[in-house]
A = this chain, B = another copy of it.
Amino acid sequence: MNPKINFTPGPSQLYFTVEDHVRTAFRDGIPSLSHRSKQYEAIYKKAVDGLRELLGLPSNYHVLFTGSANEIWERIIQNLVEEKSLHLVNGSFSKRFFEIAQLLNKKPVKIEVPMGQGFNADVVRTGIEPGIELLGVTHNETSTGVCQPLEFIYTLRQQYPDVLLAVDAVSSLPYPDFDYSKVDSVFFSVQKGFGLPAGLGVWLVNDRCLAKAEQLLAKGISIGSFHSLPSLYTHAIKNQNPETPNVLGIYLLAQVIEDMVRRGITSIRKETEYKAALLYQALESHSDIKPFVQDKNLRSKTVIVADCGEHTEKITQRLLAKGMQPGDGYGSFKKTQLRFANFPTHSKEQYELLVDTLAN
C-alpha cells in the first residue's frame, strides 16, 4: 500500500521526522527502557521543557500525560468539578465533554448552538447560572471546523474570573498562541497537530486547578486514583508518571517538539495561515464546493471543512487518485462534507497540490 498524503484530522499525517525518530528510538533501546530510570526522566523532562518553550507556558503551568484526550475530559470533570460545569456545545466533541460530566454524575449545563456555528460574547454576557465551577470551551471543533477566536475565550475569563476555564485545543495546538494567564487548563492529543502516533493525551493545568482538586479531596470527594491531578502532579515534578506510560510516545513527542522549536513556532503559525487562506479561497471560488462555516471569524485554520453535497464522492475519488486522503465529514455529514487537516506536517506544496486538484 502506498502511503497517501493524509488530510484526515486525526490520526493524521505523521510529522515528517517521526519515522527517523522511531528508528533512533529502537536503536537506543527506548521501548524497553525502565520508566523508573534516570534516562527516562531525562526524556520526560525534554518533552516538558520543549513544550514550555514551544508554547510559551508560564511557570505556574504543569504538563501531565494521559492515554487520550477522552481521558482528559474525564479527569477534568473528576478533579475540577464538584457539581456543576457549563459547556459551550457546538459540535460532537464539545457535546461529548458535556456528556462525560453527566456520566460522572455531575450536574453539567450547556449552551448549545447548531453545528457549524460558534459563540460570541453575547452568549454569556447576560450571565450564567450560579454555582458554575468550570467552563468548558472547545477552541477548535474538529467535527465542524469552527474555531473560537482567542479574544472570545479571554472575554469569558474577564466575565467570570472565579470560574475555571478549560480549553479543548485537541485539533488546534501548536497553532494558537494562547495567553495562558487567561485560561486555567488546555489539552490536546498528539495524533493531530503534533503528527504523532495516537495513544497519548497532554494535559496542561495551572496551580488553580491543583488547588481545586485538593479542595474536592479535602471534602471527601473521589477525584480518581492513579491519574488524579495530585497523583499526576507529584509524579510530574519528579519527571515521572504514576503508571508505566507510553514511553515511546513521550520520547517521540519530545523529539518532534525539538524539531518544531528549531523550525520556529512563528514560521509554523505563518505557514498554517498561508495554507488555510489558500484552501478557503479555493473553496470560496469553487462551483461545487463551499466552506461549511459561514462566519469567516469562526473558520478554523487547522481543520477546514468543505460542504461538497452530492459531489462528495466524486471529489474524494479525484483526490484519492492523486494520492491524497481527505477526512470524511463527521457523523451525519459523512456523505456531504470533507474535512482537511492543516497541521504543521502538511507542507505548502501539499496544500498547493490539494487546491489544484480540487480546482480541476
Give A contacts to B, CB under 8 Å. 1, 3-4, 6, 8, 10-14, 18-19, 22, 26-29, 31-35, 66-71, 73-74, 77, 99-100, 103-105, 189, 191, 196-200, 220-222, 224-228, 242-249, 327
Assess the A242–B197 pair: CB atoms within 8 A: no
A217 → chain B closest CB, angstroms:
9
Which partner residue on chain B sits nearest A12 by CB separation? B32
Assess the B29–A197 pair: CB atoms within 8 A: no
Assess the A6–B18 pair: CB atoms within 8 A: no
Q: How long is the Cα–Cα vector from A339 to B26 in the complex, in angstroms?
A: 24
A5 → chain B closest CB, angstroms:
10
For the complex of A and B, 10 pairs with smallest distance between CB atoms: A67-B67, A199-B246, A70-B243, A31-B197, A103-B225, A105-B222, A3-B29, A100-B225, A68-B243, A70-B226
Q: How long is the Cα–Cα vector from A262 to B140 in the complex, in angstroms?
A: 46
**Cβ contacts under 8 Å, A35 to chain B:** 11, 198
30 pairs from A and B in contact (CB 8 Å cutoff): A1-B28, A1-B29, A3-B28, A6-B29, A8-B34, A11-B31, A11-B35, A11-B247, A18-B31, A31-B196, A31-B198, A32-B191, A34-B327, A67-B71, A67-B243, A70-B226, A74-B224, A74-B226, A77-B225, A99-B225, A100-B226, A103-B228, A104-B224, A105-B220, A189-B244, A197-B247, A198-B245, A198-B248, A199-B246, A246-B249
A42 → chain B closest CB, angstroms:
13
Q: How long is the Cα–Cα vector from A77 to B3 in the complex, in angstroms?
A: 42
Most chain B beta-carbon neighbours within 10 Å: one of A68, A104, A243, A248:
A243
Selected contact of A67 from candidates B8, B31, B68, CB within 8 Å: B68
Which partner residue on chain B sits nearest A192 by CB separation? B244
Q: How long is the Cα–Cα vector from A359 to B77 in the complex, in angstroms?
A: 56
Assess the B73–A249 pair: CB atoms within 8 A: no
The verdict on A31 contacting B10 (CB below 8 Å), with A243-B71, A244-B189 known, is: no
**Cβ contacts under 8 Å, A71 to chain B:** 67, 226-227, 243
**Cβ contacts under 8 Å, A199 to chain B:** 67, 199-200, 245-249
